[in-house]
């Protein structure tokens, strides 16, 4: 069956209803328009990069890309995406910054601190000090480890062995900033 052509020949692109204009809130404005034309129409006429927006209100928007859809009856749809910067934001020179961040919180064992065992030049005093550590008296501050009181270092630090070994925590309430920390 042959195509019977009636109405407008669509030798030029006809703007279709349903144009969208999107303001991102930071100054970037985008718009999408659709045109209909005959297959013979040179599609780059309306979608060429830098082509002005069809609505003069948005003359600062320029064509960035376009898509061709070849429809039935030898018609095509041309979808053009326009982009620009709102002239009322920063005089149209740039958009406002749109930033985001991803935060995370991690913790490390206090024994990894550079000032934990040996005094570091950046700090006023060592945290636990280097061994050998002194064994606590029974029922005093340090818990029992293997049936005997554990060993104490600086600031109420507590270790399993006189040479250090497993760090148990800070057991002396006289050091409130460290007491109870492990």
pLDDT tens for 59-88 read 999 999 999 999 888 889 999 999 999 999
- pLDDT reported for residue 117: 87
The answer to whether the CB of 130 falls within 8 A of the CB of 121 is no
Comparing 18-32, 49-63, 163-177, the range with the smallest average pLDDT is 163-177
Q: Averaged over 154-170, what is the pLDDT? A: 89
- pLDDT reported for residue 1: 66
Lookup: tokens for 111:
């024994």
Q: What is the DSSP letter of 177?
A: T
Q: Is the dihedral of CA 69, 70, 71, 76 positive or negative?
A: positive
Lookup: tokens for 17:
């209803």
Partnered with residue 56 across adjacent β-strands are none
Lookup: tokens for 9:
């020949």
Lookup: tokens for 12:
């030029």
- pLDDT reported for residue 19: 95
Q: Averaged over 160-165, what is the pLDDT? A: 87
pLDDT of 43 strictly over 80: no
Question: What's the pLDDT band for 31 if we cut at 50, 70, 90?
Answer: very high
Virtual CA dihedral for 156, 158, 161, 164, nearest 10 degrees?
A: -80
Could you give the CA distance from residue 165 to residue 142 in angstroms, rounded to a whole number? 15
- pLDDT reported for residue 125: 83
Q: Is the dihedral of CA 108, 114, 117, 121 positive or negative?
A: negative
Degrees (nearest 5) of the Cα angle 165, 166, 170? 115
pLDDT of 2 strictly over 80: no
Q: Averaged over 32-50, what is the pLDDT? A: 86
What is the three-class DSSP state of 38?
A: strand
Backbone angles phi, psi at 150, to 5 degrees: -75, -175
Nearest to residue 86, comparing CAs of 107, 119, 114, 61?
61
pLDDT of 8 strictly over 80: no
What is the three-class DSSP state of 110?
A: helix
């Amino acid at each position: 069956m042959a195509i019977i052509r009636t109405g407008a020949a669509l030798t030029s692109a006809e703007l279709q209803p349903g144009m969208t204009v999107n303001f991102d809130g930071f100054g970037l404005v985008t718009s999408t328009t659709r045109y209909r034309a005959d297959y013979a129409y040179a599609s780059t006429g309306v979608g060429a990069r830098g082509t002005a927006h069809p609505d003069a209100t948005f003359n600062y928007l320029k064509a960035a890309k376009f898509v061709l859809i070849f429809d039935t009856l030898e018609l095509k749809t041309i979808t053009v995406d326009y982009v620009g910067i709102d002239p009322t934001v920063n005089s149209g020179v740039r958009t406002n910054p749109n930033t985001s961040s991803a935060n995370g919180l991690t913790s490390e064992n206090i024994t990894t601190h550079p000032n934990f065992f040996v005094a570091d030049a950046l700090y006023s005093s060592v945290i636990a000090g280097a061994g050998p550590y002194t064994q606590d008296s029974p029922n005093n501050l340090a818990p029992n480890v293997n049936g005997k009181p554990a060993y104490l270092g600086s600031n109420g630090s507590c270790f399993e062995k006189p040479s250090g070994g497993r760090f148990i925590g800070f057991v002396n309430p006289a050091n409130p900033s460290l007491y109870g920390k492990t």
